[in-house]
Amino acid sequence: MIRYEFLNNTPIATLHQAFLSAFADYQVNMQMSLDEFAFRLRRDGVDIDISAGAFDGDQLVGFCLNGSGKWQGEATVYDAGTGFLPEYRGRGMASEMFRFMNPQLKKSGFNQYLLEVLTTNEPAVNLYRRLGFAETRKLAVFRTPTPLSSTGTPHEEIRFVEIPNWDLYETFWSGYPSWQHSSEAAQRIADSTAIVEYHNEQRCVGYGVVTKSSGLIIQLAVDKTDRRRGVGRLLLKALQDCVTTSESIKVNNVDENLKETTAFFEAVGFKLVLEQYEMTLSL
């Protein structure tokens, strides 16, 4: 008999093991250490009290890890990872878990549910559509086969900052980042990131944020009046120099409606490797 309950009494080691098992055959490599898993939960703002699990006896066989916060002005739950052990798939358990969770989430004051799903993961896409989720954007994931070349001597206009000006940075945006790349997410993992700014005549006109261990670009933007002048390329190279491993910098979840942004990444040598739908459900 499968039972559904919130995960507030479930140890993180149990969640980690279930996560690895559920995503062992995923289209993207999701295998990670316990420390990396804990980092992911922190970045995504996961709240175990509102995250749900499916149990077969004492075994955790499925889960929905939920983050919480404001999204586009609304109190929002973010699906930071939903998965089931292979032998428990195809039984309608995901639908049952959402039916268990959603009334409680609404009662707790949340207005919407947000998630991302690979466009090629048709079973999951169709499930979310049946549950009432609607697509809001298509997001692009880019990779480069090798690290960008080092800058050598740091460019004089590049500055490393410890106190970021998020209000200023937002004025450089042409759109808005995904949940995992929001300013709130960057602040949750501030101890693991590096932030660089480009200054023109003592004025910051561009910035970038990178996770030092993985090379994941959290944010990158340049003032509209200073684009097409090589600022973005210099910021990217400075961010690559901040990465503490041999990893190439990575770019996730770029809004495909931002044609100038996607063209920039392709021009500097990144390749589109997969796409995701961003989807929302009103609770």
205-214 pLDDT tens trace = 999 999 999 9
Question: In terms of domains, do 17 and 89 share one?
Answer: yes
Query: Is residue 151 predicted with pLDDT exceeding 60?
Result: no
Question: In terms of domains, do 33 and 104 share one?
Answer: yes
Question: In terms of domains, do 149 and 34 share one?
Answer: no
> 3-36 burial, b if ≥16 CB within 10 A, otherwise e?
ebebbeebeeebbbebbbbbbeeeeeebebeeee
In a domain, 136, yes or no: no
In a domain, 131, yes or no: no
Question: In terms of domains, do 217 and 165 share one?
Answer: yes
Q: In which band, very low, low, confident or very high, does the pLDDT at 37 lie, cut at 50, 70 and 90?
A: very high
Question: In terms of domains, do 37 and 102 share one?
Answer: yes
Question: In terms of domains, do 154 and 271 share one?
Answer: yes
CA-based nearest residue to 136, from 265, 283, 256: 256
In a domain, 135, yes or no: no
Domain containing 214 — which CATH number? 3.40.630.30
pLDDT of residue 20: 96
- Quote the domain boundaries for residue 173: 143-275
CA 23/CA 20 separation, integer angstroms: 5
β-pair type (52-56, 2-6):
antiparallel
In a domain, 137, yes or no: no
How confident is the model over 123-133, as pLDDT tens digits?
999 999 999 99
Phi and psi at residue 160, in whole multiples of 5°?
-95, 130
Q: Across the strands, what pairs with 160?
A: 196
End residue of a domain, out of 89, 110, 131? 110
Question: In terms of domains, do 170 and 73 share one?
Answer: no
CA-based nearest residue to 76, from 24, 27, 115, 127: 115
In a domain, 100, yes or no: yes
In a domain, 116, yes or no: no
In a domain, 117, yes or no: no
Quote the mean pLDDT of the chain. 94
Question: In terms of domains, do 14 and 98 share one?
Answer: yes
Phi and psi at residue 17, in whole multiples of 5°?
-65, -40
Overall pTM > 0.85: yes
Question: 3-class DSSP state for residue 259?
Answer: helix
Tell me how many domains the chain contains.
2
How confident is the model over 76-108, as pLDDT tens digits?
999 999 999 999 998 999 999 999 999 999 999
Question: In terms of domains, do 101 and 190 share one?
Answer: no
β-pair type (216-222, 250-255):
parallel
Query: Is residue 153 predicted with pLDDT exceeding 60?
Result: no
pLDDT of residue 78: 98
In a domain, 126, yes or no: no
Mean pLDDT, residues 160-171: 96
Query: Is residue 43 predicted with pLDDT exceeding 80?
Result: yes
Question: In terms of domains, do 175 and 72 share one?
Answer: no
End residue of a domain, out of 110, 126, 160? 110
Question: In terms of domains, do 55 and 163 share one?
Answer: no
Query: Is residue 152 predicted with pLDDT exceeding 60?
Result: no
pLDDT of residue 1: 86
Question: In terms of domains, do 149 and 69 share one?
Answer: no
